[in-house]
Structure 1
């Protein structure tokens, strides 16, 4: 759990106390007891106690919002409901809720981060980066926001900016393998192959089943001319996840380069069956 998640956990606890105090100052009676129970149940659902369906969290948060009695509680509920809408893929409604959360509590970094991810999912690069910029400005230790911003920069081929954000994430949480794995990929792309190898090795020390780190290390091996090592890493990645089109494609290139046209053709076919436009991803790193 990173520091922003710990802060969120404390916030949820305070929200629970607030609602409990809110309902306990009412007259006693069977109907009032039922009302208190319903509010506390809604609070638990809004906080994500039941992850079986986003609709359950949406309903819980809506009940808290409809109380209309405290802006702090409503701000958290709007953020949580926006997160649930995002899980459904309804990014427009998610952004509306994140906007409302920010309006009620503009000092909370979390809805800025969440809104940035929602904008990114919609294809909005500038708005996504602006939201994430604000998130890390408000909370400079927000590891997840740095990782999200790095991913967006990476997607739009702003590799120097992505590397800086991965640097920040690694400084904040050096035990988080996705930071090392992400920076490995960026370094492969920009040609810092030995440094990339070191990053991927670190990621795999932290999480040996990180298929992405294996893919990126395989690509570094390939670009360094270490074809057997590349094939080994791609093969291991495919054992972990047989649906990795990039691993099939990269292994195909390595096999072709070794003169194994039969094996290369089989892997190339598998890659394109999984992802027809897989060649476009390798074009980003100068390989086709």
Structure 2
């Protein structure tokens, strides 16, 4: 199996970090993921719908009856991952791979858990292993691309998202993340197209709506930006990124009291959310 040079750690927790680069001067803002206070949304996309104790108990019963079935361990590992029991998830993925060393889905699932726990080198190695076994596995390209993006290796990230899209992926993350890269390159028309596709694939996710809002801000389309942010809030009113983006829009319109209220709401949801803290300091909190 191949390995890669260790990717730099993005932050101490290894969890997604939201980046807002906008100010009153109209500098572009770029959003990444959901608040670090919640279980990462990618967990919901790995093979099982439920991370409940009841479901895990049922899967455990299956394993007792089929102790050499790698699929059973992979599915239970996914359930553990969704529940936030990451060490248990890793043990199950390890067992699945031990039973079937060519189980590329288990490598990709284990990579996601490694990434959440902050072990980016192990995550990269697992994604590479998955792709060595199956070079057409779109989810592994999406996962590895996100590692590259977080490490600032945007060209490599773009290439991985592009490859997943060329493989006709239905994973909205590929389009959302590629859109963020287009956005960072100030190619906002391309970014908006990608956010629209991500929305069509995941209409209940606030993330691409926030991305869309930032590109609208950069294009001076403030009303469209408000519509996108407000819809993101209607989908999930506990997303700190959405409230901070709304605050930024109020700030740009000179509605300082409303901006202050939205920044404070963002900080209630995530007290460590730096863009909201900076915004509140800027306008006087």
Give the TM-score of the pair, scaled to structure 2. Answer: 0.71
Aligned to 2:146: 151
Structure 1 counterpart of 2:137, from 134, 142, 159: 142
Detail structure 1 runs of 4+ shifted over 6 Å in the superposition: 47-51
Deviation at 1:148, TM superposition (A): 2.2
Q: Point out which structure has higher relative CO (alpha carbons under 8 A, 6+ apart).
A: 2
Partner of 1:64: 66
Aligned to 2:247: 252
8 A contact 2:138–2:169 mirrored in 1: no
TM-score calculated relative to the size of structure 1: 0.70
Cα 1:281–1:78 shift into 2, 3 Å: farther
Q: Deviations over 1:96-123 (max 9, x none)?
A: 3322322332122111111111211211
Q: Which has the higher Rg, Structure 1 or Structure 2?
A: 1
Structure with the higher helix share, 1 or 2: 1
CA, structure 1 residues 215+195, in 2 after alignment: closer, same or farther (shift >3 Å)? same
1:89 equivalent to 2:91? Answer no
The 3-state SS of whatever aligns with 1:53 is helix
Deviations 1:202-241 (A, max 9, x none): 3334454442111101011122333222122111111122
Aligned residues: 232
1:82 to partner: Cα distance: 2.8
Paired residues of 2:148 and 2:154 also in contact (CA < 8 A): yes
Q: Which structure 1 residue ranges, 5 or more long, are not aligned?
A: 1-46, 66-72
Ranges in structure 2 where 5+ consecutive residues have no aligned partner: 1-46
**Residues 245-254 or 186-195, more deviating:** 186-195
Q: Is residue 2:103 matched to residue 1:101?
A: no
Alpha-carbon spacing, 1:118–1:209, altered in 2? closer, same or farther (3 Å): closer
Aligned to 1:107, the other structure's residue is in SS state: coil
Superposition CA RMSD, Å: 2.9
